[in-house]
Amino acid sequence: MNETTLEEAGKGVHVAGDGNFLFNFDQLAKTTSGAGYSRTFGSAVQGKRMQVSLRLKPRGTGSRLHTHKNEQFNWIVKGTLRVKIGDGEEVLAPAGTLIYVPASMPHTMIATSGEDVLFFVCKDMADRIYGVAVDGSNSGTHHEPGF
C-alpha cells in the first residue's frame, strides 16, 4: 500500500500506488509550481520517494534564483531554457537537453522569448517539493522585458 497521502503530496498532485499505476499527463489536472518565484505549471504524480511532472514555462518567463533540498532532473521536450546553476556560466538548453540540479544548489531557468518551454521533471522527495527564492522573498516570477 502506498504510504503517500494526497495531503502529503499537495493540492493537485496525483498519488501513485494503491492501484494507481498508469497516468496520462494530458488528462491530469494542472497546478502551478513555485508560485512565489516561478510561473511554471503542469501535472505532477508522486510516489513514496519521488515526484515527476510535465511542466510548461511560458516564453519570456522563468524562475528567480531559488533553491530546494531536492535533487532534480529536467528534460527539455520543446523550446529552449536559459539556465544558471550554482556559480556556473549561464547557458542555453534546447530541446533534448537533460539538466541536473544537485540538492540545495541555487539555480534559475528562464524560457527564451521564442516559444513556451515544455519539460519533464523528476525530483526526489528529500524535503517539501517547492523551493525558496534565494533573496528570501515571495515576490513572484521572473519576466523578461516585454513579457
CATH code of the domain in which 46 resides? 2.60.120.10
Is the whole model's pTM more than 0.75, yes or no?
yes
- pLDDT tens over the chain, length 147 residues: 334 444 444 667 899 998 999 999 999 999 887 777 787 899 999 999 999 999 999 999 999 999 999 999 999 999 999 999 999 999 999 999 999 999 999 999 999 999 999 999 999 998 877 788 899 888 888 889 998
Number of domains in the chain: 1
pLDDT in tens, 83-99: 999 999 999 999 999 99
Q: Cα–Cα distance between 103 and 106 in angstroms, integer? A: 9
**Domain membership flag for residue 144:** no
**Burial state string for 34-56 with b = 16 or more CB within 10 A and e = fewer than 16:** bebbbbbbbbbbbbeebbbbbbb
**Domain membership flag for residue 107:** yes
**Domain membership flag for residue 118:** yes
Residue showing cell 502529503: 8
State the residue range of the domain holding 38: 12-18+28-134
